[in-house]
Amino acid sequence: MDEGQRGAIRAALEMQFRYKFYQETNFPFLQSIGIKDIFQGFGNDEDGFIGMLHLWWVPEESNIHFDNPKMSPVKIIGFWKGEWFDTPQEGLAVAEQVEKNKPFDTGKIIEMHQKYHNDLKQIRARKIINDAQEALEEEAKQVILWN
């Protein structure tokens, strides 16, 4: 595959990826919750590694306007810029740098999130067990013995 073909494939993949990305329900809120970088690798068995796309949020004023007759005109502030990396190593190096520059530790946030959900599971399991034991005790009290 020559560079022209690779460029055309990358342009099509980026357009398709952005369309799908913009359609996600969480898309408008990503930058608000601190997700300002997205990395996505592309490749297949036939062509091999096509490239890694990096999208990052830029809070600059854009020339995009949204006019809806039911609403007042809205000027979009901020947009997602993009760049391609030719090798996985280049993309991973940038991804590691982005991760390193974050003011928080993503691993610790994920760990705390997992702990929270594990604790919830344990609480729910204990409640189910306690409810079952109470039901058994109530049933045992109601049993009439015929001697």
Q: Which two tokens stand for residue 73?
A: 């005109």
**pTM as predicted:** 0.65
Residue 76: strand, helix, or coil: strand
Share in percent of the chain as helix, strand, coil (round to 5):
50, 25, 20
Residues 69 and 13 reside in one and the same domain:
yes
How far apart are alpha carbons 95 and 38 in whole angstroms?
Answer: 9
Which H or E element spans position 121?
Answer: helix 106-142
The tens place of each residue's pLDDT in the chain, 147 residues long, gives: 788 888 999 999 999 999 999 899 988 888 888 889 999 999 988 888 999 999 999 887 766 656 666 666 656 677 899 999 999 999 999 999 999 988 888 889 899 999 999 999 999 999 999 999 999 988 888 866 676
Residues 78 and 130 reside in one and the same domain:
no
Question: Within a 10 A sphere around the Cβ of 51, how many other Cβ atoms?
Answer: 23
Tell me the residue range of the domain where 143 lies. Answer: 104-147
Residues 90 and 110 reside in one and the same domain:
no
